[in-house]
Structure 1
Amino acid sequence: MQEKRGLMWILSPLSWLLLAVPVFALGALLPRRRKWLLWIGGAGIAGSVLAMTPVFANRLVGWLEAMPEQPQACETRPPDVAVLLAGGVDRFARSEEDVSVLSIDSRRRAEKALGWWRQEPGRRLVVAGGSRGRRSVAEAVLVAGYLQQLGVPAEAIRTETRSLDTWENARNVAALRPALPREVVLVTSAMHMRRAKYSMEQAGFTVCALGADWRYVPFRRMGYLVPDSGGLDKSEAALHELVGLAVYRLRHGR
């Protein structure tokens, strides 16, 4: 589920650069040059440029995507229920059948869950994700429709359609009736797994992590030291996850 953006623009290295350049220029243009403005602006420019490089972005992504140690029960008593978190849409759906609006994150998560479901008969999927507008279709409904197109029968899928963020995903899934087992497989993007797993555990679940949509790329060439749009995109996503996890821990304890 895509989170509420609000002031998330401040987590973009491009925003930092746009703020740092005027500060540096002001320090240089004032009649009496202000060294402290030059230092702040210069550090901001250097930091934002570094954060837009693929090498920096992939270090953050690699840490986030490192899969947590699995509970022993994941091997000895594998759960037969997977909770799949929707990953957003690219535009508003015209109907519940309009699965073309699903983002690539949502599709990759759904396809990962599909592979897990196919491994053993009798497995079930719970898809979580609400909608941003009164008349828009819940993301969980769209993902469920996509799974059905891929061959999962409707009776093997449950949906939770009220949640608007990861924390609500976990709380609302825990409140479903009939209740889910407390041991579940959690399917979400690998970069999102730390925050999602924390939220699910705080809601009372034992989680077997199943990551999808891996984005880490190891250092391969010197061009990774040069800022580019890919590095910017990854850094923004990784910083969003890091700050989101920190906020959850501060707000909800532990």
Structure 2
Amino acid sequence: MTASWFITNIISALLLPPLVFILPSLAGFMLYKRRPRFGAALCVVPLIALVVFSTGIGAKWLAASIEDFAAPLTSAQASGAQAIVVLGGGRSRNAVEYGGRDTVSSPALVRLRYAAKLHRETGLPILVTGGTPDGSSESEAALMARALHDDFAIAAKWQEHASENTAQNAQFSAQQLKAAGIQRVLLVTDAMHMARSRSIFIHSGLQIVSAPTGFYSRAPVSPIDFVPNGHALYVSSYAMHEWIGIAWYSLRHGSAIRLMRDTTGPGVNVKHPAS
């Protein structure tokens, strides 16, 4: 486990639900006797926000704010891509039904399933990317390659094992792909993760065709969406994580990382202006 990965996760826990709502509420409770109005507002407003973003309707609204920057791919064959890049999406540790070995997480499996579909449509080779930031013995890329082989009968041509975050996914993947003469790729990741990932991969020098999957906000609204639940809070937390990530990369990389709406279509690449 790297120190940077551990610190990043601690900071994320403080900035994301539920702690981002609970901690201000506790502070308001402690301030109530000295400053009743301010303390009451600080206590109640975050709890209301927690309830709202724990509902399907609140989560859909928040997810839409970031998924709207990722248009679904309309034609993989018309994209002009030379390869498919699949970003790691976490691991399921000590999966006893698989002999106690780690395997890919549910979000990662969704990405791999879509990449397999694109591969069958286009015949393009696949690169899987993801390292071991948590100190595991196997990289996420190795787990993804095994799942592709075992579950979809597809061999990953390249595996990138060293990255600890999305920026390194892009940097190290670009090195392998450029060495193989690859410049233009289909990028597969979650719809909420696509806006940030696309900008970072373009900054690495690759030409990117977005291939988002796992859209949450497109599901129809139902009465149950107004009832708080844990999955909705997870989705809200994911969307907030992406907005924070976009803000962080924008501050860190300046004009090189820029949020942009993906309206270019499958055969056109957008490049950032030189910074």
Question: Could you say which TM-score interval applies, normalised by the shorter chain?
Answer: 0.7 to 0.9
Specify whether residues 142 and 98 from structure 1 end up closer, same or farther in structure 2 by C-alpha distance, changes over 3 A only.
farther
- 1:38-117 alignment to 2 at 5 Å? 38-66=40-68, 68=70, 76=78, 78-91=80-93, 101-117=103-119
Question: What corresponds to 1:200 in structure 2?
Answer: 201
Does the CA contact (< 8 Å) of 2:52 and 2:58 recur in 1? yes
Specify whether residues 173 and 40 from structure 1 end up closer, same or farther in structure 2 by C-alpha distance, changes over 3 A only.
same
Q: CA RMSD in A?
A: 2.9
Letter in 2 for 1:157: K
Question: What corresponds to 2:11 in structure 1?
Answer: 7
Structure 2 length-normalised TM = 0.78
Question: What corresponds to 1:165 in structure 2?
Answer: 165
Specify whether residues 135 and 62 from structure 1 end up closer, same or farther in structure 2 by C-alpha distance, changes over 3 A only.
closer
SS in structure 2 at match of 1:130 = coil
Letter in 2 for 1:25: F
Between the two proteins, the alignment pairs up a number of residues equal to 245
Please say if 1:152 is aligned against 2:150: no
Cα distance in structure 2, aligned partners of 1:131 and 1:44: 35
Does the CA contact (< 8 Å) of 1:99 and 1:142 recur in 2? no
- 1:115-130 alignment to 2 at 5 Å? 115-121=117-123, 123-130=124-131
SS in structure 1 at match of 2:93 = coil
* Percent of residue pairs bearing the same amino acid type: 25
Cα distance in structure 1, aligned partners of 2:188 and 2:101: 19
Deviation at 1:237, TM superposition (A): 0.9
Question: What corresponds to 1:252 in structure 2?
Answer: 253
SS in structure 2 at match of 1:101 = strand
Structure 1 length-normalised TM = 0.84
Question: What corresponds to 2:30 in structure 1?
Answer: 26
Gaps of 5+ in 1: none
Deviates more, 1:44-53 or 1:106-115: 44-53
SS in structure 2 at match of 1:62 = helix
Specify whether residues 23 and 226 from structure 1 end up closer, same or farther in structure 2 by C-alpha distance, changes over 3 A only.
farther
Gaps of 5+ in 2: 256-275
Specify whether residues 49 and 180 from structure 1 end up closer, same or farther in structure 2 by C-alpha distance, changes over 3 A only.
farther
Deviates more, 1:60-69 or 1:209-218: 60-69
